[in-house]
Structure 1
Amino acid sequence: MEENIKKMITKRQFRHTAALDPRCKAALLILIGCVSYFLNGEICSLVLVAAFALFIAVGNGAKWAAKMLVFYIVIAWLNALLRYVSIPVLSVIMSVFGVTILKLVPIAMMGIWILRTTHMDDLMAALQRMRLPQAVTIPLVVMFRYIPTLRIEYRMIRNTMDIRGISDTAWKQITHPLSTIEYILIPLLMRCLKVTDELAASGTTRGLELEERRYALNPVRFSWKEYMVTALGIAFLAGLLFLDYTSIGEIIIWRV
C-alpha cells in the first residue's frame, strides 16, 4: 500500500519532452536565443519556429505551440506588407519592431513552455547540482515562481473590474492611460509587494537558503534522453545556420 502511494506521489504529471531535465530545457532555450538572432533567411526562421513548436506540442503544449506558430506567421506577413509602405521614419521603426518580434517569438515560445512544465523543486535541485551559488539559484527560482503568480493576480484584478462594471479593453488602455494606471497598475503594484513578502516567507519556510544537497520527488538526472535531445538540438540548429548562409537563406516566402 505504501509503495503504491509512493508511486502515485512521484508519478510525473508531464509527458515526453515536458518531462526532460530542467538543465536540458535551459540549454535548448539558450541555443534557440543565440541562433534566432543570427538567422536572416525567412525559410530557416520558419523552420526553426515550426520545429520547436512540434517539440513543444509533444510535451503538454500543443495549444500553446499552435498559437505561437500562427502568431509568427501573421506577424511575418504583416511585416512583409511594410515593404509597400513608404512613410519616412515610421516605416523603418515599424519594420525594426516587426523583425524584433519575429526574433523573440521562438524564445518566448520556448521560455513560457518551460515555465509551465517545470516544477520549482526540480529546477532548484538541478541548479544546485550544477554547483551554482545560492546568489544565482535563489533569484532564478523566485523569478520563475513570480511570473505565473503575477499573471494570476492580474486575472483577479480583471475579474474585480468586471464585477464592478468597469471594462478593460486594449483600446481603452490606449485612449485612457490614467484610468489604466488607476484601475490596473496601482492595484497590481500593491499586490506585487504583498506577493513578494509571501514568496520570501515561503522560501524561508522551505529552507531555500540551506546549503545541503536537495532532493526532489521526481528523478532529476541527465540521462541518455537528455543527452540525445541536446545533441539533436545542437545538430539541428547548426544545420539551420549552415543553410541560412546558402542560397536557401535568400529565398523570400512572405510575398504580398
Structure 2
Amino acid sequence: MKMNVKKELDPRTVLGIVFIFITLGLAINKPLSSHILLLICNIYLITSKAYRECVLYSVIYIIIAGLMFYIYHIPNTTLALTIVSISYFVQKFVIAVMMIEFLKRKTSMPYVISAMQTMKFPNAVAIPFIVILRYMPTLREDYGYLKDSLKIRGIRTSGIEFFIHPIRSLEFMIVPILFRSIRVAEELSTSVLLRGIENYKNRTNIYPLKFTKIDAGYALFTVIAVSMLFYLQF
C-alpha cells in the first residue's frame, strides 16, 4: 500500500471521515441505507481519483447484493444462512476497504502519525494503527509471492477455487499468510518501539497541520451524508 507524499487534506479530516463511515458501515443493516452508503463511499473514492478501485469494490458489492436478493429462492436453509452470513460480512468489509483506500490516497504516513500525535491518541490505539498501515504493503507482496509459488506447483488460486475447495484454500493460502503475518507484525512492533513511540515527551512536529476550505467542504458533505444515513436507518 503506497501512500502519497503530498497532503491534499488535513489528515485529521481524513481520519475523521474514515472512522465515521467505517463505523456506519458496521452499524447500518437496512438495504437502502447500505446502498446509499456505498454510493457515498464511491464519491469519496472518485474525489481521490481511485477509479479502478471504485469500480472493483462496487462490482463486488453489487454481486453480493444480488445474491442477497435471490436468497429466498434457495430451498436449502443451511446454505441460505451461510450465504447470508458471508454476504453480510463481505459487504461490511467492502465499505471498510473503500475508506482505507480513501485514507491512502488523500494523505501520507508521516501526516497520519503527526495527526495522531496532535490529537493525543493513546499509544494503545496509535501503535496498532501505525503497524497495520506499515504492514499492508508487506502483506500484499507476501500474497503475490505465495500465489506465484502455488502457480509453479500447478495449484490454482482463483476466487472460484476458494468456494469450490475452501479447506484446501485455507491450507495453501490463509495458513501461510497468518504465520508470516505474526512474524512480520512482531518485527514491525519492535521497530516502532525502537523508534521511541512510547516516549511520552512532546515531540517536534515537522509536518504542519492546518484546516483549509477544502477540509470545510469535505466536512460539510460528511455531515449531510451522515444525517441522510441516520434518517434512512433510524
Q: Which residue of 1 aligns with 2:79?
A: 90
Q: 1:55 aligns with which of 44, 48, 52?
A: 44
Q: Which residue of 2 aligns with 1:7?
A: none
CA drift at 1:160: 3.5
For the 8 Å contact 2:5–2:108, the answer to whether it is kept is no
Q: 2:156 aligns with which of 140, 160, 168?
A: 168
Q: 1:64 aligns with which of 41, 53, 59?
A: 53
For the 8 Å contact 1:173–1:180, the answer to whether it is kept is no
Q: Which residue of 2 aligns with 1:6?
A: none
Give the 3 Å change call, closer, same or farther, for CA 176–93 of structure 1 in structure 2: closer
Task: Tell me how many residue pairs correspond in the alignment.
Answer: 227
For the 8 Å contact 1:121–1:216, the answer to whether it is kept is no
Task: Tell me the SS of whatever aligns to 1:19.
Answer: coil
Q: Which residue of 1 aligns with 2:203?
A: 213
What residue identity is the alignment partner of 2:142?
E
1:122 and 2:111 correspond: yes
Q: 2:17 aligns with which of 22, 28, 36?
A: 28
Aligned Cα root-mean-square deviation (Å) = 3.1
Q: Which residue of 2 aligns with 1:46?
A: 35
Q: Which residue of 2 aligns with 1:223?
A: 212
Residue segments in structure 2 that go unaligned for 5+ positions in a row: none
For the 8 Å contact 1:68–1:105, the answer to whether it is kept is yes
Aligned-partner Cα distance in 2 for 1:225–1:55: 13
Aligned-partner Cα distance in 1 for 2:217–2:162: 49
1:235 and 2:228 correspond: no
Aligned-pair identity (%): 24
TM-score by length of 2: 0.78
Counting only pairs closer than 5 Å after superposition, residues 90-169 of structure 1 correspond to structure 2 as 90-115=79-104, 117-162=106-151, 164-169=152-157
CA drift at 1:82: 0.8
Q: Which range moved further: 96-105 or 51-60?
A: 96-105
CA drift at 1:87: 1.9
Give the 3 Å change call, closer, same or farther, for CA 192–243 of structure 1 in structure 2: closer
What residue identity is the alignment partner of 2:30?
N
CA drift at 1:193: 5.0
Larger Rg: 1
What residue identity is the alignment partner of 1:167?
I
CA drift at 1:238: 0.7
TM-score by length of 1: 0.72
Task: Tell me the SS of whatever aligns to 1:213.
Answer: coil
What residue identity is the alignment partner of 1:220?
L
For the 8 Å contact 1:39–1:45, the answer to whether it is kept is yes
For the 8 Å contact 1:161–1:167, the answer to whether it is kept is yes
CA drift at 1:229: 1.4
Aligned-partner Cα distance in 1 for 2:181–2:85: 33
Aligned-partner Cα distance in 2 for 1:138–1:68: 28
Give the 3 Å change call, closer, same or farther, for CA 136–55 of structure 1 in structure 2: closer
Give the 3 Å change call, closer, same or farther, for CA 131–47 of structure 1 in structure 2: same
